[in-house]
Amino acid sequence: MSKLTLAAAAIFVTAITPAFAQSTSPGLSPSTAQPPAVTAPNPSTSGEFLQQQNPRDWRASKLIGTTVTGPDNVRIGDVNDVVLDSAGNTNAVVIGVGGFLGVGEKEVAVPFKSISVVTNNAGDKIDKIAVSYTKDQLTNAPTYKWYTAVPVVDRRSELRK
User: Residue 158: what pLDDT?
Assistant: 66
Determine the average pLDDT of the residues in 99-108.
82
Does 37 map to a domain? no
Give the domain extent around 121. 60-140
Where residue 118 falls among pLDDT bands split at 50, 70, 90?
very high
* Bridging pattern class, strands 126-131 and 67-69: parallel
User: Residue 19: what pLDDT?
Assistant: 46
Q: What does the alpha-carbon distance between residue 133 and residue 137 come to, in Å, rounded to a whole number?
A: 6
CATH number (domain holding residue 95): 2.30.30.240
Does 35 map to a domain? no
- 3-state SS of 84-127 is ECCCCCEEEEEEEECCECCECCEEEEEEHHHEEEEECCCCCCEE
